[in-house]
Amino acid sequence: MTTKLLAFAGSTRNGSYNQALLELAITSARARGAEVTAVKLKDFELPLFDEDLEAAGVPHGAVELKSLFKSHHGFLIASPEYNHSISAVLKNAIDWVSRPGEGETLRTLSAFRGKVAGLMGASLSPFGSARGVMHLRLILSALQSYVVPEQVLVPSTHAAFNSDGTFKDELQRQLMTDLTTSVISLCECLRSAS
């Protein structure tokens, strides 16, 4: 069975460096035989998470996004760094998707449990979103996802990409290959063990 990966960035602005980084991850994963579904979080109706809203009826966008999470073996996530952490839009999406659906408990975590995540981040700073990615790693681990140790952190993004969107630096290209290879390999191992 082909490994299915859901790819998205925690930045919604036009011209986002993290979206550009994610595109390279998508290309790399597809070159390694994965089926990748790319989505943009701003295309989903996701108001700020509120249990009163949830009780009145989970927004359609949250239901749709959770269904996508559940139907994939893993994730490719590009996270910007906002104030030394992840963006509000990314945290909000995770909060909605992590909520139990009909017949689920708070411990079920069907959209995350046993899934594999590959993380990356781009930033204008010299740290390349390291602190935001570290927080995202912690969140996904708490939600019972397997986060591969490889990651791609791109500092000084204004000078990191060629005009065609590819990396200028050969090391970054190799790190991306390592990341997507690791995600796909772990997905395959977990499926064969189940």
Q: Binning pLDDT at 50, 70 and 90, where does residue 1 land?
A: confident
Q: Which residues pair with 38 in a beta bridge?
A: 7
Write out pLDDT tens, residues 160-170. 899 999 999 99
Record the pTM: 0.95
Write out pLDDT tens, residues 61-91. 999 999 999 999 999 999 999 999 999 999 9
Q: In Å, how far are 41, 42, 98, 101, 186 from 19, measured between CA atoms? A: 11, 12, 23, 29, 24
pLDDT recorded at residue 20: 94
Core vs surface per residue 70-101: b (16+ CB within 10 A) or e? eebbbbbbbbbbbeebbbebbbbbbbbbbbee
Residue 194 has pLDDT above 80, yes or no: no
Yes or no: domain 4-193 corresponds to CATH 3.40.50.360: yes
Residue 157 has pLDDT above 90, yes or no: no
Q: What is the mean pLDDT of the chain?
A: 95
pLDDT recorded at residue 101: 85
